[in-house]
């Protein structure tokens, strides 16, 4: 089965890394979408973060792209008005995975000539 993704996700320049994370959550309207490794609501959500470098041809620049996947669920809509919330997305990355991400960003950075060798 072909993985469905938006058009801009096809511009991966060089490599990518996929890491298991603890959770990713975001608010849309009053709905709270969450994918949580330690969820007591649902088991096996398996949140993952994918980091890759992509080329943005319109401005001729490289970008770092983060994408998230897993089995999301919607928790009961919040009764609070979220329109004035400053934060809308929350990502929890375990420190050992943060170290792997840092290594990837350093080693695979297309702006560094050493990453081509």
Residue 80 CB burial class (10 angstroms; 0-12, 13-18, ≥19) = exposed
- Structurally, how many domains does the chain consist of? 1
pLDDT tens-digit map of 41-73:
889 999 999 998 887 777 888 888 899 999 999
Residue 116 lies in a domain: no
Rounded Cα gap, residues 48 and 23, in angstroms? 8
The pLDDT value recorded for residue 109 is 82
Q: What pLDDT score does 33 carry?
A: 93
Domain range for residue 60? 7-111
pLDDT of residue 48: 97
Asked, for residue 51, whether it belongs to a domain, the answer is yes
Residue 72 inside a domain? The answer is yes
- Residue 1, in any domain of the structure: no
Q: Tokens 């089995």 appear where?
A: 71
pTM across the whole model? 0.79
User: Per-residue pLDDT for 5 more than 80?
Assistant: no
Whether 105 has a pLDDT exceeding 80, the answer reads yes
* Domain-located, residue 117: no
Q: Is residue 2 part of a domain?
A: no
Find the mean pLDDT for residues 37-43: 90
Is the per-residue pLDDT at 112 higher than 80?
A: no
**Residue 92 in domain:** yes
In this predicted structure, what is the pLDDT of residue 47?
A: 97
In a domain, 45, yes or no: yes
- Token pair 């089965």: residue: 1
**Residue 117 scores a pLDDT above 50:** no
Cα separation of 26 and 91, whole Å? 9
Using the predicted structure, report yes or no on whether residue 102 has a pLDDT greater than 60.
yes
């Amino acid at each position: 089965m072909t993985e469905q993704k938006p058009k801009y996700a096809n511009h991966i320049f060089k490599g990518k890394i996929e890491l298991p994370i603890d959770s990713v959550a975001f608010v849309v309207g009053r709905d709270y979408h969450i994918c949580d490794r330690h969820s007591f609501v649902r088991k096996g959500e398996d949140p993952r973060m994918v980091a890759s470098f992509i080329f943005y041809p319109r401005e001729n620049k490289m970008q770092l792209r983060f994408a998230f996947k897993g089995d999301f669920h919607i928790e009961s809509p919040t009764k609070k008005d979220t329109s004035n919330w400053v934060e809308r997305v929350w990502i929890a990355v375990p420190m050992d995975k943060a170290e792997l991400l840092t290594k990837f960003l350093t080693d695979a950075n297309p702006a560094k000539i050493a990453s081509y060798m």
